[in-house]
Chain A
Amino acid sequence: MNTLISSITPNIPWGIDVPNYFWFTGSSAAAFIISSFAHVFGMERYKPIAGFSLLMAFVLLVAAPLNLIDDLKQPGRVLNFFMYGWENFGTSPMKWGVILLMAYPVLIFFEAIYIYRPYFVKKMATLSGVSHTFYGLLTLGRMGMSQEDFDKDHRVGKLLGIIGIPLALCVHGYTGYILGVVHANALWHTPLMPILFLASAMVSGTGFLIVIIPIFQKFFTSMGSVNHDTMVDLAKLLALFIVIDLVIRFLWLTFAMPFNGEEKYLVYAFFELNFHEVLYVEYLLCLIIPMIVGFSALRNNFIVLYCAGILSVVGVWLFRWNTVIGGQSIPKSAPGFLHYSPDIFSQSSIVSIFSNWGILIALVCFILVIFPWDEEMVESYSKRVNHGK
């Protein structure tokens, strides 16, 4: 028997902000992709929620980087990032990731204002003074309401959507890349990490829409009720994305454990330590059950589906936590797994996370007040009904 008598407890850099950040960017990417089903691929069934999803993608991505800044030990030195160290551009995913992170919300914003332009013009007619000017700015000075103008809105919106799809995939893919390149960490070091992150992001993003759309449809549109077809469509999507996620996780875990080299011992030890939490909570409760709901008639029961949505959102958050925090708990130079419990106050603490969610909710309200998403949603539903007839 060999025993360690003394060592130090290593310092671990990333706290609770980081899994939260990953959750936000992932869900944003997923919301964007779902909006692109309609805007780029012309899938009519997603048309009514496409504009709303796009706006959600925007707010999630505006709120996300605040987590990163909060996790910095020297947040006042943000400028240094832009000034120095460009020789590491190719080797530091953090370097190019932040550039993507800045470009992506700008693109979504422009896509959104093109898509909503006709509504801004209509709204301007009812307003005066500052609000009038404000919406005038959002139209970028294009006031035309002819079919030609609409076609142009559509064309530009679609083009931005086409550019946006790879950008959305990269913005979230890079977060997986950041972890995947770290060969020092047995849990993270796999080329599957970016894809794994994307797959689970599609799950959390769809879950997020399942949770948030009913609230807004019921209480903030003239429809006054939740559209059943939309919920069923989202449920099917959710189930499909969970299948993809599970397949990739299967590949990941099999290559990381039974068929791995030396690293497998640490990964085994890690999952042994967290076995029940991972199997019963993360997999069974938060993935398998929502998948069953999505594939079965259970999805027609609103309450059941809504709970499945919540579970998938929570499950992916836990997966982010288990990956980021769990990965760092693996010992590198001194025996024994590390244990992390976030502070209540301070940087990267429980309060930071709640504040960040608070900011997200505030942004959601703000953006939904500005954008006439409700009109667009109701109009799309009525068009769909007319088409159906």
Chain B
Amino acid sequence: MSEKNSRRSFLRQGFGIAALSGLAATSASALSLQNPGRDAGEMRYVGDKNKHLVMVMDLRKCIGCQACTAACKVENKVPTSQYRTFVLETEIGEFPDVRKGFLPQLCNHCDNPSCVSVCPTGATFKRKDGVVVVDNTICWGCGYCLSACPYDKRYFNTKTKTADKCNFCVQRVDQGLLPACVETCVGGARVFGDMNDKTSEVYHLLHTFSTTVLKPEQGNKPQVFYIGLDNKINELLNSTQSLDDMVKKHDGIHAEWSKTLIKEM
């Protein structure tokens, strides 16, 4: 039965292509400026227009435990070797003046997301509450958004074979819960909430501390804000080698894309 159905839908798709390429009349309602979910105004596609969801990372509190990384993988069934969020671990300075530096990273849910504007299928878009999401039933896997994100925060999900990334756990947030990473953060470094709500913790933090964002020069207007971001970590991004990769190289682990080490600066 299901085989029959899939054959039928395959045929239907085939006819669809024929209809288009043959310039036959395609009903105007089949074409969409956005995508069917958004057109139908489904809650998970549009979100709450009165909210403006953001995250604040208080780096003074991050201990680099990667609990967020793990919680995210479990909550979102992220495939092996892929990550929606992770914490970069660095060593800053030289003995005896040395310390660890951590940089938790995730999609910045940019206010001006360069990943969204280039998407040719309308599969990725920004909800009214600011969350940037991907509809993995629409995405055709062209990868333009992966190239366009200045933060490398998108990947091709090996299970769905579509673009994927952090979605602020909207499946939880829409139910009134917190994102998995925030819920699990042992140091309380990750704070999530609605900027439009003046009683929220994010509102309080953003107005009482100096915050910064990653790569502001890209003009994306990220909505993940950092307290205590050390510029040395920013500089590091462009320069040094990763011990992780050295180990991978040593162990002969090669993927289609792997890292090349460059000279230290």
- Asked if residues A79 and B20 are in contact (CB atoms below 8 Å), the reply is yes
Interchain CB contact under 8 A, A71 and B143: yes
List CB contacts (< 8 Å) of A1-20 with chain B: 1-15
A262 and B231 alpha carbons, distance in the complex (Å): 14
Task: Pick the interface stretch among B28-36, B181-189, B195-203.
Answer: B28-36
Contact B245 A336 (CB under 8 A): yes
CA distance A13 to B257 in the complex (A): 10
B residues near A15, Cβ cutoff 8 Å: 256
Residues of A within 8 A of B16 (CB): 79
Chain A to chain B contacts (Cβ below 8 Å), 30 pairs = A3-B243, A4-B90, A5-B242, A8-B83, A11-B146, A12-B257, A73-B142, A75-B141, A82-B31, A84-B123, A85-B34, A85-B120, A86-B31, A86-B122, A88-B122, A92-B120, A178-B144, A183-B114, A183-B218, A184-B114, A262-B217, A266-B238, A269-B262, A332-B150, A332-B152, A334-B152, A335-B236, A335-B238, A336-B245, A342-B256
In Å, the complex CA distance between A192 and B142 comes to 24
Closest to A181 in B: B118
Which residues 73-120 in A have Cβ within 8 Å of B in the complex? Answer: 73-88, 91-95, 98
Residue of B nearest to A77 (CB): B140
Which residue of chain B has its CB nearest to the CB of A348?
B256
- The answer for the CA separation of A3 and B92 in the assembled complex, in Å, is 7
A10 lies within 8 A of B152 (CB): yes
Q: Counting CB contacts under 8 A, is A72 at the interface?
A: yes
Q: Is the CB of B152 within 8 A of A2?
A: no
Chain B residues with Cβ below 8 Å from A71 are 142-143
Contact with B along A270-283 (1 / 0, CB 8 A): 00110000000000
In the assembly, what is the distance between CA of A42 and CA of B195, in Å?
A: 66
Say yes or no: is A265 at the interface (Cβ < 8 Å to chain B).
yes
- How distant is the Cα of A124 from the Cα of B148 in the complex, in angstroms? 53
Bound complex: CA of A181 vs CA of B162, how far in Å? Answer: 22
Q: Give the docked Cα–Cα distance between A92 and B121 (Å).
A: 10
Number of interface residues of A (CB under 8 A): 66
Interface centre among B17, B91, B138, B242, by most chain A C-beta atoms within 10 angstroms, is B242
CA A85 – CA B125 in complex, angstroms? 10
Chain A, Cβ-Cβ closest to B82: A11
How far does the Cβ of B53 sit from chain A's closest Cβ, in whole Å? 22
Q: Which of A9, A78, A184, A329 contacts B147 (CB 8 A)?
A: A184
**Could you say which of A75, A98, A182, A339 contacts B260, with CB atoms under 8 Å apart?**
A339
Name the one of B86, B94, B161, B260 contacting A73, with C-beta atoms under 8 angstroms.
B161
Q: Which A residues are in CB contact (< 8 Å) with B238? A: 265-266, 269, 331, 335
A273's nearest neighbour on chain B, judged by CB, is B262
Contact B122 A87 (CB under 8 A): yes
Instruction: List the B residue with the shortest CB-CB distance to A87.
Output: B33
The residue from B105, B120, B161 contacting A81, defined by CB atoms under 8 A apart: B120
Chain B residues with CB under 8 Å of A331's CB are 152, 237-238
